[in-house]
């Protein structure tokens, strides 16, 4: 896979503030339990945006604030570097559409960023981060994710033990 990109790549994570019920997270929790992950205790989901193009840090901040994030219910951060490891039963599962798949949400976001008057990104991809609390091993969790949250036919995914 070769990706030619002239600009910088940013990763933005948008999540529901902790005081709000994460209905999709609860649904994922039930699915993980159903698939045999007995020790799972909580799941919350964040949306990930990988933005690639001639934007600088403040452009990305502005796009996140005005477009990607809902000021009432959500909070966001522009990620730099990998998440903190050593999770103490905290897991982070990132699921992305494969690069060869069309990403309709990414496409909408790419156009919408340009509408804000910011430089138009070359590419935006959208993914999900499942923040999971539960006792398991990486191998087992990977197997369960393959049965529930990700389909290798269309998705790529990573599992890390990570507290955030």
78 part of the interface to other proteins, by CB under 8 A: no
Classify the phi-psi angles of 144: left when phi > 0, otherwise alpha if psi is within -120 to 50, otherwise beta. alpha
- Minimum CB distance to other proteins, residue 43 (Å): 12
Length of the chain (residues): 164
Interacting span for other proteins (CB under 8 A) from 36-44, 86-94, 104-112, 130-138: 104-112
Contacting other proteins within 121-150 (CB under 8 A): 122-123, 126, 147-148
164 part of the interface to other proteins, by CB under 8 A: no
Q: Which of 8, 66, 140, 142 binds other proteins (CB under 8 A)?
A: 66
Residues 6+ apart with CB under 8 A from 119: 53, 54, 55, 59
d(CA 120, CA 104): 16
- Minimum CB distance to other proteins, residue 74 (Å): 8
The interface mask with other proteins, positions 18-47, x = CB under 8 A, is --xxxxx-xx--x---x-------------
Q: Are 156 and 125 in contact (CB under 8 A)?
A: no
* Cα–Cα nearest to 123, from 45, 18, 35, 6: 6
Q: Which of 71, 80, 86, 88 binds other proteins (CB under 8 A)?
A: 71
Task: Name the β-bridge partners of 11.
Answer: 50, 79
Q: Which residue has the tokens 């964040």?
A: 46
Binding residues vs other proteins (CB under 8 A):
1-5, 16, 20-24, 26-27, 30, 34, 66-68, 70-73, 97, 99-102, 104-105, 107-109, 111-112, 115-116, 122-123, 126, 147-148, 151, 153-154
């Amino acid at each position: 896979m070769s990706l030619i990109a002239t600009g910088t790549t940013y990763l933005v994570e948008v999540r529901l503030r902790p005081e709000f019920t994460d209905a999709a997270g609860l649904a994922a929790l039930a699915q993980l339990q159903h698939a045999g992950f007995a020790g799972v205790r909580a799941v919350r989901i964040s949306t990930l945006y990988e933005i690639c193009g001639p934007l600088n840090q403040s452009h990305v901040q502005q796009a996140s604030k005005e477009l990607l994030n809902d000021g009432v219910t959500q909070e966001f951060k522009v990620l730099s570097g990998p998440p903190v490891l050593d999770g103490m039963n905290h897991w982070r599962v990132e699921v992305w559409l494969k690069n060869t798949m069309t990403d309709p949400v990414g496409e909408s976001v790419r156009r919408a960023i340009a509408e804000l008057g910011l430089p138009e990104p070359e590419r935006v991809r959208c993914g999900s981060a499942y923040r999971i609390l539960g006792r398991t091993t990486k191998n087992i969790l990977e197997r369960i994710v393959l049965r529930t949250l990700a389909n290798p036919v269309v998705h790529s995914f990573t599992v890390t033990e990570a507290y955030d």
